[in-house]
């Protein structure tokens, strides 16, 4: 397989620009895309006609977003140190903000399993003073539908982007500080085990430099798309290197990619948040069923 088997030629289209630092793109059931501007304390909604409207202000420095199985928006909020859910009527409720009575560090990215459990990473963001940190580690957690919160991983330096493989038998988690991708076996009860380093993200062919791996997604075939300072690194499910995509407005200027999302009515759009902009790559095959 080659990267050109997955992505159309011609590079990305810059859909909108002028933001402080974009993150957390998510394709919504209504056919729009929501994304965060963390320093701007705002979330935006992009429409297929090219228009962009302010979706939420203040966003409490929202970062990663996803949708649950009911199509509700799930958001990691740095300032409130919580994972929230937006109900159909617009009410925002807390999914998780504490573990064993102590405040979370700063939820960063989030994914929802088919059973409704919400898995999220919780490193300490720069905005959280050290004397206000209550958790003793940067963890990976699971919030269950009954409201309980479990810590699943406690030995990562900076857990960041995360994604399940297509059959949910593996959970991948980026460790930005250690510059590698960890793979965890997902047990029948949703707990994790048998951790291993699946990919070295200081990969010699990736062109890695300071800025490091961040968000990630997995397509229907199990291919791994991981954002980094110099673009989007693409690997096959077995860890084989496929190549790199650049988020650029022209041939000279590339923006560090922070996160990405599948979308489009046919599942053949790859949306990328990269610093001041939102980009779209066209895929040759659907990356998602939705």
Structure token digits, residue 55: 């979706």
Sign of CA dihedral 271, 233, 43, 172: positive
**pTM to 2 decimal places:** 0.95
Going by their DSSP bridges, the two strands 269-274 and 277-282 should be labelled as: antiparallel
Question: For 23, how many CA atoms within 13 A lie in the half-sphere containing its CB?
Answer: 26
pLDDT single digits (tens) 206-239: 444 445 799 999 999 999 999 987 889 999 999 9
Q: Does 2.120.10.30 match the CATH number of domain 3-282?
A: yes
pLDDT single digits (tens) 6-51: 999 988 999 999 999 999 999 999 999 999 999 999 999 999 999 9
pLDDT single digits (tens) 90-138: 999 999 999 999 999 999 999 999 999 999 999 998 778 888 999 999 9
SS3 112: strand
In this structure, are residues 234 and 244 in contact, taking their beta carbons and an 8 Å threshold? yes
> What is the average pLDDT score of the chain?
93
In this structure, are residues 186 and 192 in contact, taking their beta carbons and an 8 Å threshold? yes
Neighbour count for residue 35 (Cβ, 10 Å):
28
């Amino acid at each position: 397989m080659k990267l050109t088997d997955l992505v159309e030629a011609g590079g990305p289209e810059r859909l909108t620009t002028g933001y402080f630092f974009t993150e957390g793109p998510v394709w919504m059931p209504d056919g729009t895309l929501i994304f965060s501007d963390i320093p701007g304390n705002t979330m935006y909604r992009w429409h297929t006609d090219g228009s962009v409207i302010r979706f939420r202000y203040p966003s409490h420095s929202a970062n990663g977003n996803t949708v649950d199985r009911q199509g509700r928006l799930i958001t990691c909020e740095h300032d409130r140190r919580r994972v929230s859910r937006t109900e159909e009527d617009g009410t925002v409720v807390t999914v998780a903000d504490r573990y064993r009575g102590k405040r979370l560090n700063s939820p960063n990215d989030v994914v929802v399993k088919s059973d409704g459990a919400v898995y999220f990473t919780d490193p300490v963001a720069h905005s959280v003073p050290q004397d206000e940190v209550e958790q003793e580690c940067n963890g990976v957690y699971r919030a269950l539908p009954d409201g309980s919160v479990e810590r699943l991983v406690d030995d990562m330096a900076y857990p960041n982007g995360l994604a399940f493989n297509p059959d949910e038998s593996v959970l991948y988690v980026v460790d930005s500080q250690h510059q590698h991708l960890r793979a965890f076996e997902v047990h029948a009860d949703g707990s994790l085990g048998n951790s291993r380093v699946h990919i070295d993200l200081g990969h010699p062919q990736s062109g890695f430099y300071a800025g490091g791996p961040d968000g990630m997604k997995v397509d229907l075939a199990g291919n791994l798309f991981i954002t980094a300072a110099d673009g989007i690194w693409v690997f096959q499910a077995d860890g084989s290197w496929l190549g790199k995509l650049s988020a650029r407005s022209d041939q000279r200027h590339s923006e560090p990619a922070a996160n990405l999302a599948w979308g489009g009515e046919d599942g053949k759009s790859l949306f990328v948040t990269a610093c001041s902009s939102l980009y779209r790559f066209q895929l040759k095959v659907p990356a998602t069923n939705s």
